[in-house]
Amino acid sequence: MLNLVRNGSRCLQLRNQQQICPRISSLNHLVQQKISNLNGDGARYQSSLPVPAALELPEQYSKSWSVVEQSKISEFDIDAILLEHNVTKAKYLHLACADSNNAFSINFRTTPMNSTGVAHILEHTTLCGSNKYPVRDPFMKMLNRSLSTFMNAMTGPDYTLYPFSTCNPQDFKNLMSVYMDSVFCPLLREQDFLQEGWRLENEDIADSQSKLVIKGVVFNEMKGAYSNSQSLFGQHLLNNLVPDHTYGFSSGGFPMHIPSLSYEELKAFHAKHYHPSNSRIYTYGDIPLKTNLETIDDYLNRFSHLEIDTSVPTQTRWSSPKVEKVTCAPDPMNPDPAKQSTVAVSYLLQDITDLQESFVLQVIGDLLLDGPSAPFYRTLIEPGIGSGFSPVSGYDNHIKESTLTIGLQNISEDDIDRVVGIIDSTLEEVVENGFPKNRIDAILHSYELGLKHRSGNFGLNIIMNMTAYWNHSQDPVEYLRINKTLDWFKQSLADDPQFLQKKVKQYFVDNKHKLVQSMKPEESFTDQEEQEFLKLEEQMRSKLTEEDKTTIRNKALELLKSQDMKDDASCLPTIKLSDIPDSYTGPVVNRLSLAGVPVQTSLQPTNQVAYFRALLDTSEVPSDLKTYLPLFSSFLSKLGAKHLSYQDLDTQIELNTGGLSASCHLAESLTDMNSFSDTMLLSSYCLDGKIDEMFNLWTMIFEDLHLNDAHRISTLVKMSATNAGNGIAHSGHRNRFWFLTVTYSLLPLYAMSTAAAAVNPVSAMADKYSGMDFVNLLSSLAKQDGNMILQKFQALAKILLNKNSMKVALNMTEECNDSFLKSTENFLNNLPGNSGSIQTIQAADFKKTDAKIHHVVPFPINFTAQSIATVPYTHPDCAALRVLASVLSSKYLHTEIREKGGAYGGGATAGSGTFTFYSYRDPKNLETFSVYRESLDWAVDGNITNQDVEEGQLRVFQKLDEPVQPGYRGIREFLSGVDDHTFNQQRLRVKAVTKDDLVRVTTEHLIDAPVSGRALIGPAQTGLEDLGWTTKRN
Ligand SMILES: [Zn+2]
């Protein structure tokens, strides 16, 4: 069964963030998303290979492999074959289908029995060089030599996963070779351990007399990760609920424990866990099985069988519930200092390999917590006891046995027992009364729609979702047979109307393996933690002999030397720029007018799903109201309309669509940096048969949005303030399949947004809508009653909810074309207003300023950014600046900021009229700004080679030519105005960039820029004001 992920926008889901430590952060992806409107339409990526014939094990491999299972998965038009390697017993699953975005992964069951982060540090060091590719950090180097659509590695609680995907067959072969060689034949040099894990080193490496302190990439990464109280809460919850074996520890590593890991232990862990006998290999896409087997077979044949047992025993069940109390740092962003406690009740449930029970529990988790008509929304959120569900609330099947957590955050310490009492009584009430039928139907509908709607990277999503299951199960193919489980579920419900109530009684009310965990802030928490680190360092220093100190010093200097050395990456395979075609053909888009509104349509193989998008001009909104636009948009479908209460509207939305969403959308002019359009984007999708129902819901919202319930507004504002204050965002939309709900840290983006706002008018507007100022606004609004906001919303509704200056985009299958157009016309005819076009806003009075802004936050780690105004999209230098950002990132900033500086990452990005440097989870602060400046000097000093330029170009093309799912094709021009001709002009310019261009644009646009915006998000610093910084506290 698939990992059924609830809509991320509703419940906090931090589990991915806290338990999975990726090799590289998703930040680059996020940054790119900001300019993704400017990327391709992916129409070229439909498979050009013939649909594969029935799968068979090729003859020449029949001696070394056995077929375990072979079958068709009709749900996804996939042919699956599961193989076992005869000697090592390695498992290999291949899913053949007509998708050219081929995916690969290899995973090992890794079950550390301490919190030194050994699995996580191994994941990092494995990718630091291998026998066949003995270069420093081939993983990072391959990022520049490939057209991958995804490359990463991540450590879960009990597995380590190495996945990638790409549309280019040669690239697939190249990457597979590097990944296989890295995991099976890594060099695992001591130096890699010191760099990626931990080391003692002089605080200032240039000064041999400065004191020795702990440094290291994973050490800093985890310090940053656990400085977030939410992550800490989730980690403790897992450790406390399933304490007996590997889940009793942190696989990412607790910073205090990391320095007790030795290099020898790391190597021993590799020898035991990274063996084919403990591996699961996966490929997906249109590349033939035979081609993939060539590489896989070659590696596995070098090994014999290893008898190892990495299985995780079932947790012994408790005979009575347990109570645990933990502490955290106070949160200065919290609007109510008296309400800073969190409490959650967590239940240990069933083995996740039981697909039917997993499905029932997933549905129950959704019914209990998801959406405003859920019982716990009514009993926990609406009374206003806290501001939102606690971290990890909801059903979780990331580990061997699933769990369900129900909790509330930002409550008063005195309310802890009351909340626990409400949780008990609500569950008893559910056992008594059951769930309303239309809610069960709504959830089943959303599963069915989720099977059809494809977003993102399909083959990759399968393995990301399936890994936790396959890690403990013999049969991954069964997981994909969703219809079988759905049918069983419906039948069970039909046979016994009390089916779900009985399950709630069994798994929750009668469950003795129940943990009540509360967390409260302690004023001295951060100080105490810092003291402990200092004490640890002191202890380590005191044990050192003079000889040890010399060894440490020498190793540090050697590491620095090797980091400074330019190593020869020519042994690594690469894609050539000449492999990228010059021509670009976008999807066919038709343009027409319906009810006076401009409409574009694109006929696509959307799997019987119809996609609707509309842009509404917001340029007429007065500036005092504009501040409220982001809230107005995000609450638009959550307030109720016409005869439907907000609960009923929510159920109807889920019964008929994949969700109705609205957001602020800014698009900079392609030719002039001082002008842009400011709009609200509406979007929704549904099955072809439900188009009228979908429009009916939008019509009710346009005609009669409920703007009279101040309590409702207050509740929503408080929940938003909590999410924003936690500094996190969720990807994805209401979709129970495929979209692994990833939680991002927003802090790096806040830093970049603050910096760019100083030098660019569109960025300044974007900062108002989604930057730190917006977070601050939310936290002040959370303290007020909802009436003032209601008045603002009423004024906004009057201006916006009509078809004045609207435009529409529709994606659908050919069969659906006529009915979708007819329904759209009806919908538009019924809307009030006259048609007009979307206006361009001129920001003539915008003045760039030399800003230095420090946002003080309670984390012991920094996020920095510096932004310089550059050129608009159609300017000839735009392409060179994009390539430059890519070259600086991989050739200079990565080494200086991550490898030497110990930050989780750093780089540069160019787009939207700005060139922006960034670093995240950075132990340094002002020094990093010097690195930014030095990178520009490095660029003009003739250090960039032709190879560097080509790699930079490839990296830009990874995004430019990224594949796009059918429901999203043709949307680039709709949102950004970049037509196919302009887009291809940009592609060709990127392809034509030379070394001299990079030097020239650095000189002309960056090195002597008169002003720049600088932002620092991090702990309080003395002396910054004297250096011209403006400190902002929340
Ligand atoms: Zn990591």
Please tell me the distance between residue 252's alpha carbon and the centre of ligand 1 in angstroms: 7
Q: What pLDDT does 163 receive?
A: 95
Please tell me the distance between residue 18's alpha carbon and the centre of ligand 1 in angstroms: 11
Q: Contact 900/563 with Cβ under 8 angstroms?
A: yes
Please tell me the distance between residue 649's alpha carbon and the centre of ligand 1 in angstroms: 42
Strands, DSSP E only, in 458-577? 514-521
Please tell me the distance between residue 408's alpha carbon and the centre of ligand 1 in angstroms: 29
CA 415/CA 84 separation, integer angstroms? 55
CA 965/CA 43 separation, integer angstroms? 9
CA 1001/CA 995 separation, integer angstroms? 10
* Closest alpha carbon to 29 in 904, 959, 668: 959
Please tell me the distance between residue 124's alpha carbon and the centre of ligand 1 in angstroms: 6
- State the pLDDT confidence band at 52, using cuts at 50, 70 and 90: low
Q: What are the C-alpha distances in Å from 83 to residues 86, 131, 261, 284?
A: 9, 27, 36, 14
CA 666/CA 664 separation, integer angstroms? 7
Please tell me the distance between residue 898's alpha carbon and the centre of ligand 1 in angstroms: 12
Please tell me the distance between residue 33's alpha carbon and the centre of ligand 1 in angstroms: 22
Residue 746 has pLDDT above 80, yes or no: no
Residue 274 has pLDDT above 90, yes or no: yes
Q: Quick check: is 123 catalytic?
A: yes
Which residues surround the ion ligand 1 when the cut-off is CB under 5 Å? 21, 221
pLDDT, mean of residues 929-945 = 97
Residue reference for tokens 């902002």: 1032
By percentage, how much of the chain surpasses pLDDT 70? Answer: 92
Could you read off the pLDDT of 708-742 as tens digits, one per residue? 999 999 999 988 887 776 665 443 333 343 323 33
More confidently predicted of 40 and 458: 458
Instruction: Find the largest Cα–Cα distance for the chain.
Output: 85
CA 315/CA 312 separation, integer angstroms? 9
Q: What pLDDT does 24 receive?
A: 62
Q: State both tokens at 255.
A: 């910073």
Could you read off the pLDDT of 231-273 as tens digits, one per residue? 899 999 999 999 999 999 999 999 999 999 999 999 999 999 9
Please tell me the distance between residue 903's alpha carbon and the centre of ligand 1 in angstroms: 11
CA 1027/CA 1017 separation, integer angstroms? 16
Please tell me the distance between residue 620's alpha carbon and the centre of ligand 1 in angstroms: 46
Helix or strand run (H / E) with residue 788: helix 787-800
Per residue, what are the HEC states of 393-421? CEEECCCCEEEEEEEEEEECHHHHHHHHH
What letter would DSSP give residue 638? S
CA 585/CA 979 separation, integer angstroms? 11
pLDDT, mean of residues 969-994 = 95
Please state the φ and ψ torsions of residue 1018, each to the nearest 5 degrees. 175, -175
Residue reference for tokens 């076992």: 84
Residue 34 has pLDDT above 60, yes or no: no
CA 921/CA 571 separation, integer angstroms? 32
Beta-ladder partners of 1031: 854
Please tell me the distance between residue 218's alpha carbon and the centre of ligand 1 in angstroms: 6
Q: State both tokens at 579.
A: 């492999």
Please tell me the distance between residue 934's alpha carbon and the centre of ligand 1 in angstroms: 27
CA 874/CA 878 separation, integer angstroms? 7
* Lowest pLDDT segment from 21-30, 311-320, 370-379: 21-30
Helix or strand run (H / E) with residue 907: strand 905-911
Q: Where do the H-state alpha helices sit in 185-253?
A: 190-192, 217-226, 229-241
Average pLDDT of the chain to the nearest whole number: 90
Residue 952 has pLDDT above 50, yes or no: yes
More confidently predicted of 85 and 464: 85
Residue 750 has pLDDT above 70, yes or no: yes
Could you read off the pLDDT of 554-588 as tens digits, one per residue? 999 999 998 888 788 889 999 999 989 999 989 99
> Which residues, 6 or more positions from 730, have their beta carbon under 8 angstroms from its beta carbon?
8, 9, 13, 741, 742, 743, 744
Q: State both tokens at 889.
A: 């990132």
* Lowest pLDDT segment from 9-18, 285-294, 409-418: 9-18
- State the pLDDT confidence band at 387, using cuts at 50, 70 and 90: confident
Tallying the residues shown for the chain, one arrives at 1034
Q: What pLDDT does 53 receive?
A: 56
Catalytic residue among 59, 75, 84, 123: 123
Q: Where do the H-state alpha helices sit in 543-669?
A: 546-564, 623-626, 629-635, 646-656
Residue 475 class from Cβ within 10 Å (0-12 exposed, 13-18 middle, 19+ buried)? middle
By percentage, how much of the chain surpasses pLDDT 90? Answer: 75
CA 652/CA 295 separation, integer angstroms? 50
> Which residues, 6 or more positions from 641, have their beta carbon under 8 angstroms from its beta carbon?
649, 697, 700, 701, 703, 704, 705, 706
Cβ atoms within 10 Å, residue 359: 20
Q: Contact 791/781 with Cβ under 8 angstroms?
A: no
Distance between first and last Cα of the chain: 44
Please tell me the distance between residue 879's alpha carbon and the centre of ligand 1 in angstroms: 32
Residue 275 has pLDDT above 70, yes or no: yes
Q: What pLDDT does 281 receive?
A: 98
Q: Contact 724/12 with Cβ under 8 angstroms?
A: no
Per residue, what are the HEC states of 312-359? CCCCCCCCCCEEEEEEECCCCCCCCCCCCEEEEEEEEEEECCCHHHHH
* Closest alpha carbon to 880 in 850, 920, 910: 910
Considering the entire predicted model, what is its pTM? Answer: 0.88
* Closest alpha carbon to 405 in 424, 392, 388, 420: 392
Residue 10 has pLDDT above 60, yes or no: no
Q: What pLDDT does 392 receive?
A: 86
Query: Cα-atom radius of gyration of the chain, to the nearest Å?
Result: 28
Taking phi over 0 as left and psi of -120 to 50 as alpha, with beta for the rest, 278 belongs to alpha
Q: What pLDDT does 19 receive?
A: 46
Please tell me the distance between residue 160's alpha carbon and the centre of ligand 1 in angstroms: 11
Please state the φ and ψ torsions of residue 889, each to the nearest 5 degrees. -60, -50
* Closest alpha carbon to 518 in 345, 368, 376, 381: 345
Q: What are the C-alpha distances in Å from 388 to residues 176, 374, 469, 527?
A: 43, 13, 30, 28
Please tell me the distance between residue 258's alpha carbon and the centre of ligand 1 in angstroms: 13
- State the pLDDT confidence band at 221, using cuts at 50, 70 and 90: confident
Q: Contact 135/569 with Cβ under 8 angstroms?
A: yes
Q: What angle do CA 135, 137, 138 make, to 5 degrees?
A: 70
Please tell me the distance between residue 749's alpha carbon and the centre of ligand 1 in angstroms: 19
* Lowest pLDDT segment from 648-657, 793-802, 849-858: 849-858
Residue 1033 class from Cβ within 10 Å (0-12 exposed, 13-18 middle, 19+ buried)? exposed
